[in-house]
Structure 1
């Protein structure tokens, strides 16, 4: 009887709208829950086929429609260890408090360092990933990310990046007094640019020669470099022109300069000045003619080794000086002095961890008290072929299911935004619109049921 079917259908409609309002209630309640993904309601009709012209509109079935793949808004928090995924992907976490060692997946990224050094989010999810050696960048362990008492050891200087212009006519103390001749003390200078190795044999300006050397040389750059273990030392340098250009000579001669460094970090007047052992030759256009023992890359970048560097009696070892493709020139300079255009070295003192930040690929970067940064860990991030097929659990976590497929490592086009968290994708205004529509649909189903009951009562009264 259709009246009975109407009552049953109305009951199914009331049940379906009750299920929908339950989802709406949860969505509104979690409108400010980080990483929350709303659950919408999908309705499916059930039709009883009673013949071509006797088909009866039947009950309705309500099912959950997950929005796990729908992005939520990102909100800046100012907390360096907070992280939000912009795009697809899930953080891999472990709920240690539950006693389970099983990995679960979440979009909730309000991670902070707990008292034991672990990264934990607001629902007790411990972030999994790789812990890194801050010096080498190699993986030291995989599993729970732990950051505690991290120290970056000091690094010995092995490279100096340098760019400068040497004046064609240097203004030295001697030249001001009328002596513009090059510095030509045979025991201290290197004239031959064709040497296949640096010449260090007795190429030192001794204490007795220092006054004359200072008069005929120009001050070069000074920089702080670092010994083994990270202890600092000051390196002072001077440039001396040791040969003038002579285009009419046979064969023609290029201008040649030598670079010296002080054996003492104080560069006292009684310090020895050590020749680096290379003849820096310049053609008529002021371009460097690389020494024979220099290394020249395919792009024209010049680098050469300064061997056996020692300051204050402590050996620093070999240092590579990178000059780039045009880092060292000899051009006219009105002041007649050395102009330093770039100066950097790769050593540093030891430092303790000050703060953490997260890069776009999920690398957790530490900032240290020595002004250096280093990667200390990488966050474990995975993707799923069907993220809406994940099985939701409490705490904003999801479990792998048959529908979701196996986890695939990586971001797959997404990025991680440090100092942010992803908010709920539940829009309160939209949920209120659904709330009104659901209430009206529920009331209409109640009206259908009461009307059908009244019709049934009328039928029973007619029988009596």
Structure 2
């Protein structure tokens, strides 16, 4: 019996040393969770045995349990790296058609592959929800490499002052080539539906200096065959602006948005305007906030809502798991939201290597959701979760198991010596 007891102890200590060695080997593995050996004693049941005289048969390893406590979060500088600060697992799949096996991981070292999918270092695709919806089936997240979509200018807002000392000009309409035919001019860069830049040129002409003081505004859009003199058009307008004796604008009424009835951007040939034919027609709302004081005419603020086409400049991740693509034209697009799976019994997960687990009957199915929902943790972008291995504790455990192994070997040696003594009896 003592041989069997000693052998079981040697086997248990050996497996414990294997677990400790595995932990130590993965002390620097991102998202790794340390394992612990759970021992159980062994008794042989015999009918009619005296329960007060039972002698155990040794020990066995009842389970190898993983420790899913939080590892420290370390910044990496890679914007696509992610760490889950709390419970849950990233959901990943192999990019193989027909492979529906779901894998789970805490290792958030992600990157973009050649097709724009967010993948692990070993090529597994990260799953999430399109946009910010957070609903439906989790699918591979893809960051489009194509250019950021341009947006046609529909509104221009300006705040400016018109010099109250300016003289009245009777020559109308003004001639852009002759500055003496207008009192003030300014230019706003706008964009058509193709993302091509066009200068919206505004010409201000004072037509009356008696109350209410009156100014007329004319405009042209570069490349527009209707309004751009360089493209064969003529200045459009006027839009009449009126100011009271205190210099406040009364017409158009404050808070209204007058519309320049532009006929759209009817482009001439590409050689003439520096761009292709084909942009759609549109209108531009002009929101003026103006004063007429005895100061030099000047524009204080100016803005417009159009953007040119843009290229992918970078990707970032919010704490809610939203993956945002930033383009050179200033557009920020949420391309997807990371899915986080939670389990009632994480210890039931089956390790598959490569920092991956799969679910089992013991763990139950993974329940997907967005970061921060329920017990799921939030995302730390540009960071990864380090291994939760405590090297100091593992080295102490290694010494303990080494001593246990030596003690079990000594029990076998002692039993051998006893048997040898019995055999030598004559």
Judge same fold: TM > 0.5, yes or no: yes
Partner of 1:79: 78
1:226 positional shift? 0.7
Q: Tell me, yes or no, if the aligned pair for 2:145 and 2:312 is still in contact at 8 Å.
A: yes
Residue pairs, 1:358-373, within 5 angstroms: 358-373=317-332
The answer for unaligned runs of 5 or more in structure 2 is 268-279
Give the conservation status (yes or no) of the 8 Å contact 1:263–1:313.
Answer: no
Does structure 1 retain, via aligned residues, the 8 Å contact 2:138–2:339? no
Match 1:37 to one of 15, 30, 33: 33
Deviations 1:250-308 (A, max 9, x none): xxxxx67767352143988996253446x576796x7777956x7xxxxxxx4625242
Q: Tell me how far apart the structure 2 counterparts of residues 141 and 232 of structure 1 sit (CA, whole Å).
A: 41
CA–CA distance in 2 between the matches of 1:138 and 1:16? 46
1:337-388 deviation line (CA, Å, top 9, x unaligned)? 33413x3222122233344333333333333343433233443332333333
2:157 aligned with 1:157, yes or no? no
Alpha-carbon deviations, 1:217-249, whole Å to 9, x = none?
A: x445x3211112211101133556778797xxx
Give the Cα–Cα distance (whole angstroms) in 2 for the partners of residues 445 and 90 of structure 1.
Answer: 40
Answer yes or no: is the 8 Å Cα contact 2:91–2:103 preserved in 1. yes
Shift of 1:21: 1.0
The aligned residue for residue 88 of structure 1 is: 87
Question: Which one of 347, 350, 353 corresponds to residue 312 of structure 2?
Answer: 353
From 305, 308, 321, the equivalent of 2:261 is 308
1:418 to 363, 366, 381: 381
Do 2:150 and 2:307's aligned partners in 1 also have CA atoms closer than 8 Å?
Answer: yes
228, 233, 240: which one pairs with 2:198?
233
Indicate yes or no: 2:367 matched with 1:400.
no
Give matches, 1:290-309, under 5 Å.
Answer: 302=255, 304-309=257-262
Deviations 1:186-230 (A, max 9, x none): xx9xxxxxxxxxxxxxxxx52479867623xx445x321111221
- State the superposition RMSD in angstroms: 4.4
* TM-score using structure 2 length: 0.74
- Say whether the 8 Å CA contact 1:383–1:410 is kept in structure 2: no
Query: Aligned to 1:101, what secondary structure does the other structure show?
Result: coil
2:406 aligned counterpart, secondary structure = helix
Q: Normalising by the residue count of structure 1, what TM-score does the alignment of the two structures yield?
A: 0.69
CA contact 2:89–2:342 (8 Å) conserved in 1: yes
CA distance in 2, matches of 1:275, 1:409: 57
Is the CA contact 2:190–2:200 (under 8 Å) kept in the aligned structure 1?
yes
Distance 1:303 1:415, change over 3 A: farther
Partners of 1:283 and 1:331 in 2: CA distance: 9
- 1:303·1:321 contact (CA, 8 Å) conserved in 2? no
Q: Could you list the runs of 5+ residues in structure 1 that have no partner in the other structure?
A: 189-204, 247-254, 295-301
Does the aligned pair in 1 maintain the 2:310–2:328 contact within 8 Å? yes
Matched, 1:382 2:335: no
Q: Equivalent residue for 2:182?
A: 214
The answer to whether the 8 A contact 2:249-2:292 is kept is no
Whether contact under 8 Å (1:282, 1:329) holds in the other structure is no
**Alpha carbons of structure 1 residues 451 and 144: separation in structure 2 relative to 1, 3 Å:** same
In the TM superposition, residue 23 of structure 1 has moved relative to its aligned partner by 0.9
Going from structure 1 to structure 2, the CA distance change for 1:440 and 1:258 (only over 3 Å counts) comes to: farther
- For residues 208 and 152 of structure 1, the distance between their equivalents in structure 2, rounded to whole angstroms, comes to 38
Tell me, yes or no, if structure 1 residue 262 matches structure 2 residue 215: no
Please point out which of 143, 163, 170 is paired with 2:164. 170
Among 279, 286, 300, which residue is 1:340 paired with?
Answer: 300
Work out the CA distance in 1 between the residues paired with 2:342 and 2:121. Answer: 22
- Tell me, in whole angstroms, the C-alpha distance in 2 between the residues paired with 1:138 and 1:244: 61
Residue by residue over 1:7-49, the C-alpha shift from the partner in whole angstroms, topping out at 9 and shown as x without a partner, is 5544433322212111111112222323222212233456899
Deviations 1:158-203 (A, max 9, x none): 23344x3536x6343x3xxxx7xxx7x7xx9xxxxxxxxxxxxxxx
Rounded to whole Å, the distance in 1 between the matches of 2:134 and 2:28 is 38
Equivalent residue pairs, number: 399
**SS across alignment from 2:261:** strand
**Alignment partners' CA distance in 2, 1:420 and 1:360:** 11
Q: Secondary structure at the match of 2:282?
A: strand
Question: Is residue 2:29 matched to residue 1:70?
Answer: no
Aligned-pair distance for 1:148?
A: 5.6
Measured after TM superposition, the shift of residue 329 of structure 1 is 6.1
Q: Would the aligned equivalents of 2:71 and 2:388 in 1 still touch at CA under 8 Å?
A: yes
Distance 1:329 1:451, change over 3 A: farther
Partner Cα distance (2:134, 2:69) in 1: 35
What residue is the counterpart of 1:249 in the other structure?
none
